[in-house]
Chain A
Amino acid sequence: MSHADDALKNREVWTKANAEYTDQKARESWAKDEIDWGMFSGPESELNTLGALEGKDVIELGCGTAYFGAWLAKRGARVVGVDITPAQLETARRLQQETGLNMEFIEASAEDVPLPDASFDLAVSEYGASIWCDPELWIAEAARLLRPGGKLVFLCNSTLSILCSPDEGKVEERLMRSHAQLGRFEWPGEDEGVNYHLAHGDWIRVLRENGFEVEALHERLAPESAQDHVYYEFMPAEWARSWPAEEIWVARKAI
């Protein structure tokens, strides 16, 4: 399958998800004050991955309805969101007009962004390009788009959670698939798209090959109060209290 075919499939998945969930959820998400990572990884105020945001040029790679970018724009960043799903961008634009936040949106894949080199201070992705695009392509694009010394911060499913994922259904307390199968995933279930999950060593390699220094890998315990997610129900909160459900990578482009 080509990347273009994968993108078509993923666009279908997210058009449907937007109709079912992300559109109606978007206003509430945009309105939140706290920057929160993932389902369980917790508040940015504890993680301190992003640094100062005031006046920074930020690109959100695979922004969906762009609630994450909105939280950064509220802190004075100029945010550009790119995504391949027009329905989600429509939701994002509607909320941008309502809120007047300093954001713009471009329909594009994070694998090929129609913007000039070295035009951003920070690239972020929270379950965006970080799992839905080919790392060989989107990490190279992030490197190209960032200024020297710029930061890349992204959240993805943990490697261990992917190894414990059956083809369909919830993550189990058992290794279900081989480490050698990591890479491109075409999940067989209905409404599943194509995504990418790498081994830790491969993340480090692809980041370094593209001129990034690895600054941090945050693996966090889900809090006692964590509940199963109402829509993304594959990850039991109980599991996430013993093993990392998500990982946040922080990398910096060499100066």
Chain B
Amino acid sequence: MPGKPSEEAFRNRAYWDRLSDEYQARHKNFIRQPEPRWGVWQIPDSELGVLGDVSGKDVLELGCGAAHWSILLAKLGARPVGLDNSARQLEHARELMAEASVDFPLVHSSAEAVPLPDESFDVVFCDHGAFTFADPYRTVPEAARLLRPGGLLAFSKLSPFAYVAENEDERVGPLLRRDYFGLHEIDDGGVVTYDLPYGEWIRLFRRYGFAVEDLIEPRPAEDATSTYWDESERDWARRWPSESIWKARKER
């Protein structure tokens, strides 16, 4: 069974409890879509081929927020469980679930130590969720524990290119502003986010018995809009990867 979450997980819980209402007010219409879509640019799963057919599958969303994704997956025949570190985010999830007339378990926990049994899911995933806001050295082994053999781990996050090219105003530009090596914990004082160099992600997947299936670097359309990034940032994201989506398969 899982250990204890990190101190940073408790800081991030407080951060998300504070931010939740404002976050949902700003983004919820943008991310409330009729079909599953990924990330900052809301690119359809049908285009990217990340999750594919989920019907009849046990799916765990790590960092579900208001559970937009899990609600859609429930409608598509999956048996989702939504986990989030913030109680306030889960209140938003309950509201949206009631509106959509779907029901599934919600779990209030950090993804670093998940109170659910071993090998109980076919898919563990998130879209800018726990693999951004929790420590991958804890979440990857947790995902390995929670998945059945042959199960899929898939998650999106900002790409390490965006991290390296981010300036003091937290906007991306053409200059390399930060070192790539040592990339792990990024503490801006308010929230702690995480990323790893690509090679280190692969090392971590392999260490916990995952085969690396895919790395997708989605590119927004020319006229894409987003409530997360503005137009000049979109133009950057047309040229360099703003996000990365990893797919890894737990070996049988």
Select one of B164, B213, B214, B244 contacting A160, CB under 8 A: B164
A200 at the interface (CB under 8 A from B): yes
Q: List A residues 185-235 near B (Cβ within 8 Å).
A: 199-201, 204-205, 208, 213-219, 221
A127 at the interface (CB under 8 A from B): no
Give the complex CA separation of A225 and B76 in angstroms: 57
- CB-CB under 8 A from B174, the residues of chain A are 174-176
- Mark B200-227 against chain A: 1 for CB-CB distance below 8 A, else 0: 1011001000011111110100000000
Chain B interface, DSSP helix/strand/loop, else mixed:
mixed
Assuming the contacts A200-B215, A201-B217, asked whether A242 and B202 have C-beta atoms less than 8 A apart, the reply is no
Give the complex CA separation of A174 and B241 in angstroms: 15
Nearest chain B CB to A37 CB, angstrom units: 13
Q: Which of B60-68, B94-102, B137-145, B176-184 contacts A (4 or more CB under 8 A)?
A: B176-184
Select one of A179, A213, A221, A243 contacting B164, CB under 8 A: A243
Q: Is A164 a contact of B215 with CB atoms below 8 Å?
A: no
- Mark B79-100 against chain A: 1 for CB-CB distance below 8 A, else 0: 0000000000000000000000
Give the complex CA separation of A130 and B181 in angstroms: 23
Nearest chain A CB to B218 CB, angstrom units: 10
Give the complex CA separation of A178 and B236 in angstroms: 9
Q: Is B239 a contact of A244 with CB atoms below 8 Å?
A: no
Assuming the contacts A201-B216, A216-B199, asked whether A242 and B180 have C-beta atoms less than 8 A apart, the reply is yes
B229 at the interface (CB under 8 A from A): no
A173 at the interface (CB under 8 A from B): yes
- CB-CB under 8 A from A180, the residues of chain B are 219, 238-239
- CB-CB under 8 A from B244, the residues of chain A are 201
Work out how many contacts link A and B, with CB atoms closer than 8 A: 84
A: number of interface residues (CB 8 Å):
28
Q: Is B213 a contact of A208 with CB atoms below 8 Å?
A: yes
Which residue in chain A gives the minimum CB-CB distance to B179? A242
Give the complex CA separation of A204 and B217 in angstroms: 12
Nearest chain A CB to B45 CB, angstrom units: 16
Q: Is B240 a contact of A179 with CB atoms below 8 Å?
A: yes
- CB-CB under 8 A from A218, the residues of chain B are 199
- CB-CB under 8 A from B149, the residues of chain A are none
Name which of B179, B206, B212, B216 has the most chain A CB atoms within 10 A of its CB: B212
Give the complex CA separation of A214 and B246 in angstroms: 13
Assuming the contacts A215-B206, A219-B180, asked whether A175 and B240 have C-beta atoms less than 8 A apart, the reply is yes
- Mark A136-180 against chain B: 1 for CB-CB distance below 8 A, else 0: 000000000000000000000000100110000000011110111
Which residue in chain B gives the minimum CB-CB distance to A175? B174
Select one of A173, A179, A213, A219 contacting B198, CB under 8 A: A219
Assuming the contacts A175-B239, A216-B206, A219-B198, asked whether A201 and B214 have C-beta atoms less than 8 A apart, the reply is yes
The 15 listed contacts between A and B (C-beta, < 8 Å) are: A160-B164, A175-B176, A175-B239, A175-B240, A178-B238, A179-B219, A179-B239, A179-B240, A180-B238, A199-B241, A201-B214, A213-B212, A216-B202, A216-B203, A243-B180
Mark B residues whose CB is within 8 Å of A.
161, 164-165, 174-176, 179-181, 197-200, 202-203, 206, 211-217, 219, 238-241, 244
In order of increasing CB-CB distance, the 3 nearest A-B pairs are: A217-B199, A178-B239, A201-B215
Mark A residues whose CB is within 8 Å of B.
160, 163-164, 173-176, 178-180, 199-201, 204-205, 208, 213-219, 221, 242-244, 247
Inter-chain pairs besides A219-B181, A221-B181, A244-B181, 14 sampled, C-beta below 8 Å = A174-B174, A180-B219, A180-B238, A200-B215, A204-B213, A213-B211, A213-B212, A216-B202, A216-B203, A218-B199, A219-B180, A219-B199, A242-B179, A243-B176
